[in-house]
C-alpha cells in the first residue's frame, strides 16, 4: 500500500523536481549577475588602492594614508577616513578597532547572496538525482503495468529521467564556479582593507611620536 503511494508520487514528482531546478536556475543567474556587477566596481576601486599602497611602500611615504582617507569612492578610503577622524579626535587608542568594526559592518554586504549560491551549488545535484530516481521508478512501474510494453518503453523513460540529473548539474556547476570566484574577490577586497589598516597603524605611530 505504501509502495503504491510512492509510485503515485513518482508519476508527478519528477516533473516537480525539474520545475524546482528551473526556479533555482533563475534565482542563481539573478544573484550571479547582481554580485558580478556589484563586486566588479568595488574590486576595481580596491585594485586602484592596492596600486597606491605599493607606491607608498616603494617610496616609504606613510603620509599617503591621508590621501587614501580622502577617497570616498572605495571601501578602503572610507575605512581610512573613519580611522583618521578617530585618530584626530581620540588619539591612537582604538584606532585599529575602528578598522575592524568597519570590516564587520561591510563584510555581510560583500558576501550578499554567496551563502545562497553555495547552497544551490551543493544541493542542486542531489535534487536532480532525486528526480532521476523518481523518473526511473515511474518507467519501471509503467513497464510492470503495461505488459505489452517493451525495452524501448523502459529506455525512453530512463532517458527522460536522466534529464533531471543533467539539469541539476547544469544549475550547480555555474553556481559553484561563481561562488568560488566571488569568494576570491571578497577575500582580495578584505585583504586590501587590512593593508590600509597596517599603513594606518604605521601612520598613527608616526603621529604619536
Instruction: Give 97-111 pLDDT, tens digit per residue.
Output: 888 898 899 999 999
Alpha carbons 117 and 174: distance in angstroms, whole number: 9
What is the average pLDDT value for the chain, to the nearest integer? 84
What average pLDDT does this structure show over 134-138?
A: 78
End-to-end CA distance of the chain: 84
Answer yes or no: are the C-beta atoms of 204 and 61 closer than 8 Å: no
What pLDDT, on a 0 to 100 scale, did the predictor assign at position 4?
Answer: 64
Please say if the pLDDT value at position 153 is more than 70.
Answer: no
Q: Which residue has the cell 574577490?
A: 185
Radius of gyration from C-alpha coordinates of the chain = 27
Q: Which residue has the cell 568560488?
A: 180
What pLDDT, on a 0 to 100 scale, did the predictor assign at position 6?
Answer: 64
Answer yes or no: are the C-beta atoms of 70 and 81 closer than 8 Å: yes
Residue-wise pLDDT tens digits, 159-174: 777 888 899 999 999 9
Please say if the pLDDT value at position 148 is more than 80.
Answer: no
* pLDDT bucket at 155, cuts 50 / 70 / 90: confident
Alpha carbons 194 and 106: distance in angstroms, whole number: 13
Q: Is the dihedral of CA 150, 153, 159, 164 positive or negative?
A: negative
Work out the angle at residue 15's Cα, subtended by the Cα atoms of residues 6 and 154, and round it to the nearest 5 degrees: 70
Considering only 88-92, 149-153, 194-198, 204-208, which range has the smallest mean pLDDT?
Answer: 149-153
Grid cell for residue 149: 510494453
Alpha carbons 110 and 113: distance in angstroms, whole number: 9
Please say if the pLDDT value at position 27 is more than 90.
Answer: yes
Amino acid at each position: 500500500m505504501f509502495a503504491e503511494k510512492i509510485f503515485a508520487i513518482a508519476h508527478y514528482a519528477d516533473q516537480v523536481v525539474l520545475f524546482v531546478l528551473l526556479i533555482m536556475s533563475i534565482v542563481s543567474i539573478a544573484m550571479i549577475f547582481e554580485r558580478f556587477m556589484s563586486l566588479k566596481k568595488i574590486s576595481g576601486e580596491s585594485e586602484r588602492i592596492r596600486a597606491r599602497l605599493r607606491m607608498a611602500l616603494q617610496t616609504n611615504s606613510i603620509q599617503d594614508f591621508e590621501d587614501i582617507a580622502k577617497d570616498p569612492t572605495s571601501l578602503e578610503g572610507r575605512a581610512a577616513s573613519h580611522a583618521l577622524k578617530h585618530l584626530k579626535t581620540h588619539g591612537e587608542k582604538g584606532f585599529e578597532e575602528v578598522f575592524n568594526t568597519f570590516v564587520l559592518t561591510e563584510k555581510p554586504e560583500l558576501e550578499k547572496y554567496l551563502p545562497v549560491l553555495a547552497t544551490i551549488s551543493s544541493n542542486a545535484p542531489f535534487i536532480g538525482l532525486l528526480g532521476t530516481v523518481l523518473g526511473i521508478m515511474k518507467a519501471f512501474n509503467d513497464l510492470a503495468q503495461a505488459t505489452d510494453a517493451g525495452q524501448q518503453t523502459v529506455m525512453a523513460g530512463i532517458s527522460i529521467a536522466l534529464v533531471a540529473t543533467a539539469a541539476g548539474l547544469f544549475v550547480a556547476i555555474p553556481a559553484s564556479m561563481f561562488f568560488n570566484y566571488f569568494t576570491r574577490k571578497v577575500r582580495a577586497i578584505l585583504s586590501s582593507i587590512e593593508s590600509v589598516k597596517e599603513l594606518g597603524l604605521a601612520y598613527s605611530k608616526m603621529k604619536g611620536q
